[in-house]
Structure 1
Amino acid sequence: MATKAIILPFLSIICLFGCNITPNKESKMEKKIVIAHRGASGYLPEHTLEAKAMAHAMNADFIEQDVVLSKDDVPIVIHDIYLDDVTDVASKFSERKRKDNRYYVIDFTFNELQTLKVTERFNPKTGQQVYKNRFPKWKASFRLHSLQEEIELIQGLNASTGKNIGIYPEIKAPEFHQKEGKKISEIVLKILSDYGYHSKKDNCILQCFDAKELQRIRKELKSELFLMQLIEFPEETKHLDFFATYADGIGPWYTQILDKKVEGRWQFTDLVAEAHQLGLKVHPYTFRADALGEFTSFEKMVHTLLIDAEVDGVFTDFPDLVLKFLEKQNHEF
């Protein structure tokens, strides 16, 4: 199949899902929100502009950007500080790996990074595609891009479609960047400000796993953006009082909300209730229709967390499916 037949142009993708959408005037943080995790990554390779255009066409409330710095301080949208599990860097720059046999974004200039081909995520040791039924590995042509380029795409699509879809950047591995002499938080905040994202009223949520760094962003760097503290480990859920001193919400792994089943129904931990008592929004990650974990169906997964557990929004690789679920819920009520 020709690559032109595989990838629709941005405009075709947009029109496929509906161009004439009236902007939602309701405050997004007052309703259940859908965050396109790395874009519409269930359908197109993660963190490509094509995946972001598709997520915009699907009407996700926010589109996520993971941000890592290049050697010349350009913020690159990619999930990890590594290149070798989503690009062909190993074949193009075989001599540039570090002692741990990994290839780091920070070791390449922006111009060098743009020469790499991006593909569906795979295991660099085995070459096996992580999600085997997603977009075929090494098919079509995808490239890395900067945070600025993605913001301009999303803002441009907002202008041309009349929508108001937000951005949800994550500052990746700030301690690693600092050890490399890079001020990633300052660089990202400057770019966000340059593009009109200054405060909680703006359509931007900034997230980070590093609590120390997110607190520094609020207190030392004096950011007034909506800040989300990501949570990876169970012991971190005990620090909600501390998180509430600088953050506006938390992003836990969804399993941290689940407790046990009683007569076939999930019971929940106190995480969501305690967060809400502190005024924190809760956006768990990651909802995947092809990785259901403890659930028998994607709809059951979404209903359990979004409705029964009363979380405020979800990160998902399949934003269209969550939006269809919410539309169905609205019709039922």
Structure 2
Amino acid sequence: MIRTLIATVLLSTLSLAAIARPVVIAHRGASGYLPEHTLPAVILAHGMSPDFIEQDLVLSKDGVLVVLHDIHLDTVTNVAEVFPARKRADGRFYAIDFTLAELKQLTVHERRDAQNQQVFANRYQHNGSNSDLFKIATFEQQINLISELNRSRGTNIGLYPELKSPAFHRAAGQDISQIFMAMLEKYKLNQADANMFVQCFDFNETRRLRNELGLKTGLVQLLAENSWQESDNDYAYLRSAQGLKEIAQVADGIGPWLPQLVDFETQAPTQLLMNAKAQGLKIHPYTLRADQLPPNLNWQQALTLTFDWLKVDGVFTDFPDKVSQYLQSKQK
């Protein structure tokens, strides 16, 4: 049972920022149903009418923005079968070592672990007959696809791109942020009123995007744990009151890991939640999954905790249909 302590603690913070209807962000498309970031997953997600569809971005060897959650290929594609000799000394296959033409030869499958087992066992089952459906998409393809679906369906579903590992890309001789900004300019998306949030785990790059590269769209600082090695940032500091104050100088919001907002043992909110609200930052936590629930909660309780008690401004979810249904039921 969700404790009333949460409500008591949060009541005093609600006047600090207006609470609008939370937004639903389709995490890697409709990834609870189809292989992540593929065009079919985008189409299915669009039909579920979320507010945004996420695109994680990395670069190919020839400098093309492609939509992949990782700089590695081996957990979500058949690269080891198609290009077995192309792995690095660490045994991994890196997207930046392959041209776009080579990446297009790969098939995308459900995410697998180190033992080659499907991470979410009950998700899409591959039988080999439809492998050609699931290919690596470029960012440009997704921009055009979502734009055309918006036009034909009379909707305005936004983009939510993430720049992955900018320091890694620079070390490889590629500036992912510059290439990204050029793509926004090409499609006239670098506008303050663009229906878009840009996100990054690297706070150095978040500041660079805003202060040096002239990004005008919404901007979100992602928050990790230091042990994840997402960047050389000190995430404990970024989650502090002073760190959040620095974030608020350049970004519109934060994207924390959901357990950073609440202690699931006591079901009490963390100081991060209240400090972020005090800075007027939007809070878009990741990731709400119906098949990977927070400790001690069922799906309905997880939704209640996220939206009714923590009162976040939006959420990343692999199941945008289920979250949208919950939010719509609250409006009745």
Tell me the TM-score normalized by structure 1: 0.87
Amino acid at match of 1:224: K
Of 205, 219, 236, which aligns to 1:213?
205
After TM superposition, give the deviation of residue 303 of structure 1 in Å. 1.2
Of 138, 150, 171, which aligns to 2:142?
150
Q: Work out whether 1:225 is the aligned partner of 2:221.
A: no
1:173-221 residue CA offsets vs partner (Å, 9 max, x unmatched): 0000000010100111111222221123111100000000110111111
CA distance in 2, matches of 1:216, 1:166: 23
Of 35, 41, 44, which aligns to 2:31?
41
After TM superposition, give the deviation of residue 222 of structure 1 in Å. 1.5
Amino acid at match of 2:30: A
* Matched-pair contact (CA < 8 Å) for 1:120–1:138: no
After TM superposition, give the deviation of residue 271 of structure 1 in Å. 1.8
Q: Work out whether 1:311 is the aligned partner of 2:304.
A: no
* Matched-pair contact (CA < 8 Å) for 2:112–2:119: yes
CA distance in 2, matches of 1:214, 1:82: 22
Match for residue 88 of structure 1? Answer: 78
Amino acid at match of 2:87: K
1:48-70 residue CA offsets vs partner (Å, 9 max, x unmatched): 00001111000010000000000
Match for residue 108 of structure 1? Answer: 98
Runs of 5+ unmatched residues, structure 2 = 1-18, 226-234
Runs of 5+ unmatched residues, structure 1 = 1-28
Match for residue 275 of structure 2? Answer: 274
Match for residue 194 of structure 1? Answer: 186
* Matched-pair contact (CA < 8 Å) for 1:272–1:310: no
After TM superposition, give the deviation of residue 31 of structure 1 in Å. 2.3
Match for residue 203 of structure 1? Answer: 195
Q: Work out whether 1:126 is the aligned partner of 2:115.
A: yes
After TM superposition, give the deviation of residue 274 of structure 1 in Å. 1.5
Of 249, 256, 259, which aligns to 2:253?
249
After TM superposition, give the deviation of residue 138 of structure 1 in Å. 5.5
* Matched-pair contact (CA < 8 Å) for 1:119–1:138: no
Match for residue 298 of structure 1? Answer: 299
Aligned ranges for residues 322-333 of structure 1 at < 5 Å? 322-331=323-332
Amino acid at match of 2:175: K
CA distance in 2, matches of 1:134, 1:282: 28
Match for residue 65 of structure 1? Answer: 55
CA shift in 2, pair 1:38/1:295, >3 Å: farther
Q: After alignment, is 248-257 or 269-278 more displaced?
A: 269-278
* Matched-pair contact (CA < 8 Å) for 1:121–1:130: yes
C-alpha RMSD over aligned residues: 1.3
Q: Work out whether 1:76 is the aligned partner of 2:77.
A: no
Match for residue 171 of structure 2? Answer: 179
After TM superposition, give the deviation of residue 273 of structure 1 in Å. 2.1
* Matched-pair contact (CA < 8 Å) for 2:65–2:139: yes
1:266-322 residue CA offsets vs partner (Å, 9 max, x unmatched): 211122222122121000000000000314312211210122011100000000000
Amino acid at match of 2:138: S
* Matched-pair contact (CA < 8 Å) for 1:208–1:230: yes
CA shift in 2, pair 1:103/1:261, >3 Å: closer
CA distance in 2, matches of 1:251, 1:138: 36
Amino acid at match of 1:256: Q
Hey, which bits of structure 1, 4+ residues long, moved more than 3 A? Answer: none
* Matched-pair contact (CA < 8 Å) for 1:200–1:226: yes
CA distance in 2, matches of 1:261, 1:213: 34
Amino acid at match of 2:141: E
1:84-133 residue CA offsets vs partner (Å, 9 max, x unmatched): 0111100110010001000000000000100101111112x311000000
CA distance in 2, matches of 1:297, 1:211: 34
CA distance in 2, matches of 1:222, 1:295: 44
1:17-41 residue CA offsets vs partner (Å, 9 max, x unmatched): xxxxxxxxxxxx9421000000000
* Matched-pair contact (CA < 8 Å) for 2:75–2:112: yes
Higher RCO, Cα 8 Å, sep 6+: 2
CA distance in 2, matches of 1:205, 1:138: 36
SS in 2 for 1:243: helix
* Matched-pair contact (CA < 8 Å) for 1:60–1:319: yes
Percent identity of equivalent pairs = 46
CA shift in 2, pair 1:269/1:291, >3 Å: same
